[in-house]
Amino acid sequence: MHGTIKPIDQATERAYSMPLAEIDVGDPEIFENDTLWPYFDRLRKEDPVHYCTTNKDPQVGNYWSITKYNDIMDIETNHAVFSSASALGGITIRDQKVDLRRESFIAMDQPRHGPQRKTVAPMFTPTHLDQLAINIRKRSASCLDNLPRNEVFDWVDKVSIELTTQMLAVLFDFPWEDRRKLTRWSDVATTIPGVGGIVETEDQRQAEVMEAAVYLKKLFDERAQKEPTSDLLSMLAHSDATRDMDFANFLGNMILLIVGGNDTTRNTMSGAIYALSKNPDQYKKLRENPALIDSFVPEVIRWQTPLAHMRRTALEDIEFRGKQIKKGDKVVMWYVSGNRDEEVIDRPYEFIIDRRRPRTHISFGFGIHRCVGLRLAELQLKIIWEEILKRFDKIELMDEPKRVYSSFVKGYEHMPVRIVA
């Protein structure tokens, strides 16, 4: 079925006719079908702090949904009550089995969180970003120059995955010929196992994650024996806060940095093509005034929201907006809903590349866990679009993309496009 009119109409009817208590916005299917919006619209209006008891996935169970922008900010900044700790289930709606829970600095509370995060922060300083920018531009230009003209190809594979994987390989100083392993590991780490999926079983997933761990640990140990350099593995190997990480913490941080550097930028790169194809007036505006890239990039990041949520666990009973959240309850902050909150963002469903305050979005989180690599993500997107606009008049979307089956990673598996030469 082409277009989204019918599915979204059906979803709207269903979202507003079903009992409020039965709404389950954690269902990956509504993300894969792009029919999530009316469910979140209704929750923001009628029950912005919503308790779901109807999710069928045993690794999800019951959970609270926080759907409004300012409420999300309040949860994000209340570290005393709302924990990110992996031991309590971590940062996504799906719990890991207890023996598979791995700490990382995003799934860790203070005081241990700060020193581990600080270890990788030098990667994202203005001086280092200036150096990276030269590399990003060179690789972006090469990638775009090698794309086919006047024929259909998959933008996700040829551009979004390729460029983000190249960047990850640079950040890790990872063996170049093996760089697609990084893409695979990121996909495996975030996927929901199932028939026809990226992996079919949890056992297969864990086997591949362990393969990643062994490979990366070998590189980490090699860097520890050498003089410090400016790649992420060397930074971690030489820092007091991270050089003696246990194996689970090491693997947790590796997955965090790979997923953080891969899924988010990659899906926003694809989301930009989709947004512009659905809003040709904005595409025309961008072509006529490339200086708008500076506001276009954060608007794409808001509009796409590449990670749909983050999760916390309540450390004590608390009343929040009139609801009684109990100690141990799972609390899911839906960034994807906060970024469509009409009380904070003017005309939130519209894609407007010259918004007055384009950085009013919550895609990177807020507070101590705000994305450490956000400036790099923005830089990558800015450079790729500067290079695209120099080269191509138009990139046409040829059909609806295939979306990821996940309520965490909000992204695209395939997106057929054609460059009009």
Owner of token pair 């109990």? 326
> 20 falls in which pLDDT band (50, 70, 90)?
very high
Residue range 293-313: average pLDDT? Answer: 97
**What 3-state class would DSSP assign to 49?**
strand
228-282 confidence digits (pLDDT tens): 998 889 989 999 988 998 888 888 888 888 888 887 899 999 999 999 999 999 9
d(CA 383, CA 179): 21
**Percent of the chain residues past pLDDT 90, beyond the cut:** 73
Structural domains of the chain in order of their starting residue, each with its CATH number: 68-307+336-392 (1.10.630.10)
CA 94 – CA 55 distance, rounded (Å): 11
- Point out which residues pair with 324 in neighbouring strands: 319
Provide CB contacts within 8 A for 39, sequence distance 6+.
Answer: 11, 15, 23, 25, 30
Over the range 208-219, which residues count as b (16 or more CB within 10 Å of their CB) and which as e? bbeebbebbeeb
Task: List, for residues 350-392, the tens digit of each pLDDT value.
Answer: 999 999 999 999 999 998 888 888 999 999 999 999 999 999 9
Spatial neighbors of 128 by CB under 8 A, at least 6 apart, are 122, 230
- pTM for the full predicted model: 0.92
At residue 192, the pLDDT reads 83
- Of the candidates 156, 164, 173, which has an alpha carbon nearest to the alpha carbon of residue 136? 164
Report CA-CA distances (Å) from 166 to 158, 191, 239, 380, 413.
12, 21, 25, 11, 18
Cα distances from 363 to residues 113, 253, 336, 378, in angstroms, run 20, 20, 8, 12
Looking at residue 43, its pLDDT comes to 98
E strand residue ranges, 219-329 = 309-314, 318-320, 323-325
CA separation, residue 81 to residues 77, 144, 272, 319, 320 (Å) = 9, 47, 36, 11, 11
CA distance 312 to 333: 8
| pLDDT value at residue 98 | 54
Do residues 184 and 199 lie in contact, with contact meaning Cβ atoms separated by under 8 Å? no
